[in-house]
């Protein structure tokens, strides 16, 4: 093609793209995001690693990210404080529990007054590496994401202005905010403190992450076979990068009719935010770190086991009927994404030890009245085994009076 014709073609494409952009409704949040200036996105971490241009990239040690101790500790206290909810029963950790991989083990989360949400709770661990937050990507960063559950009527059901006023009237919180932020207690600082704690919930000690950093840290033969099948079947097309997902939107099935099988009444997916028909039942691809711990699966919690999720994804996304051997091998690979923190730490503790260990992490400046209120009762429910029977069972779900709509 002559150079002049190529030039005209490029100019024509640019003009067409500009006209398309002008025809789209303005997204104020996105415009603010584009103009924002701050720390580099964590999804770009380890860009210089030798594996950065391959399908998978290891997560660097948490110590490689700058952290403000005052903000992190304040965020921990707020994350576990039920007074952020309207009835004093729900804290962030009510749905994002450490010993359950940062989830709640329920099909659909519940909030204040037993209100039923609309989606399954995603893990909070390693969420800092997602390119958007929530299943429909409506939050561009963790600061924004952290505030929304507080005012959501089926989550914490509170008024954000009232929450800020309550924090300002609390001498202990006021002192902690003033220590961490020049302007003290504000809604923006509340969201930022909570996001600092979320970032602190990053785990890098899985066998697979060790393997990516140094292949001498061998995986089991079955896990290696599973990785090969994971790639060959096509799972890697969506579950890739530093978070093995969390970096794109995809339909829950290659066929829209099949996708409808996983749609609760009124569910639109990304289309509810964009208004585009092609975004019906499209969701952010979930990240896979610690996925073996976060059943049930899918945005509606309709799949109870990891093996079933693997079979369904192979069939509905790649058109493959996976053998039992394939499923077992891929399961072994996904299990290698689990943090040793869970395998050798929290899961070996009793219920009382868990509560004591988490209380000990609370900043001394916060009184006992703010520590873990409402959390012990919920953990007792989990210890009694209610969470396992709650999968796909709305009647048993009523045992849990807490949750979060994601």
Active site positions, annotated = 155
Contact 245, 288 (CB under 8 A): yes
First-to-final CA distance of the chain? 50
Return the closest-CA partner of residue 190 out of 74, 97, 87, 85. 74
Within 8 A by CB and 6+ apart from 47, the residues are: none
Q: How far apart are CA 197 and CA 193, in angstroms?
A: 7
DSSP, res 249: E
Give the C-alpha distances (Å, rounded to integers) separating 406 from 28, 32, 175. 21, 22, 32
Contact 181, 72 (CB under 8 A): no
Residues forming beta bridges with residue 250, ordered by sequence position = 283
3-state helix, strand, coil in the chain (%, to 5): 50, 5, 45
At residue 336, φ and ψ (nearest 5 deg) are -70, -5
Q: How far apart are CA 97 and CA 101, in angstroms?
A: 7
Q: How far apart are CA 229 and CA 235, in angstroms?
A: 9
């Amino acid at each position: 093609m002559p150079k002049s014709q190529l030039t005209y073609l490029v100019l024509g494409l640019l003009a067409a793209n500009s006209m398309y952009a002008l025809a789209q409704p303005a997204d104020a949040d996105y415009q603010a995001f584009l103009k924002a200036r701050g720390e580099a996105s964590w999804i770009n971490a380890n860009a210089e690693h030798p594996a950065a241009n391959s399908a998978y990239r290891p997560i660097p040690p948490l110590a490689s990210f700058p952290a403000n101790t005052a903000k992190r500790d304040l965020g921990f206290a707020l994350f576990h404080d039920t007074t952020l909810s309207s009835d004093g029963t729900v804290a962030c950790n009510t749905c994002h529990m450490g010993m359950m991989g940062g989830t709640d083990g329920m099909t659909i989360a519940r909030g204040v007054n037993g209100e039923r949400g609309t989606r399954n709770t995603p893990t909070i661990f390693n969420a800092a590496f997602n390119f958007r937050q929530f299943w429909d990507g409506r939050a561009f960063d963790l600061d924004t994401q952290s505030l929304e559950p507080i005012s959501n009527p089926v989550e914490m059901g509170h008024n954000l202005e009232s929450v800020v006023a309550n924090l300002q009237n609390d001498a202990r919180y006021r002192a902690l905010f003033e220590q961490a932020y020049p302007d003290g207690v504000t809604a923006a600082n509340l969201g930022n403190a909570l996001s600092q704690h979320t970032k602190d919930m990053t785990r890098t000690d899985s066998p697979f992450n060790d393997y990516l950093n140094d292949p001498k840290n061998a995986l089991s033969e079955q896990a290696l076979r599973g990785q090969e099948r994971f790639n060959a079947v096509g799972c890697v097309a969506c579950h890739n990068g530093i978070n093995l997902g969390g970096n794109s939107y995809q339909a829950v099935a290659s066929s829209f009719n099949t996708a409808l099988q996983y749609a609760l009444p009124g569910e639109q997916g990304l289309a509810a935010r964009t208004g585009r028909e092609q975004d019906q039942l499209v969701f952010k691809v979930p990240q896979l770190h610690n996925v073996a711990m976060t059943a049930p699966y899918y945005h509606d919690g309709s799949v109870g086991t990891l093996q079933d999720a693997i079979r369904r994804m192979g069939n509905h996304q790649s058109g493959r009927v996976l053998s039992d051997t394939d499923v077992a091998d891929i399961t072994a690979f996904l299990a290698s994404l689990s943090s040793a923190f869970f395998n050798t730490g929290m899961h070996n503790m009793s219920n009382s030890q868990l509560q004591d260990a988490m209380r000990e992490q609370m900043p001394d400046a916060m009184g006992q009245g703010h520590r873990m209120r409402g959390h012990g009762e919920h953990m007792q429910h989990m210890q009694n085994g209610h969470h396992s029977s709650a999968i796909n069972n709305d009647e048993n779900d009523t045992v849990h009076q807490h949750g979060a709509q994601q």
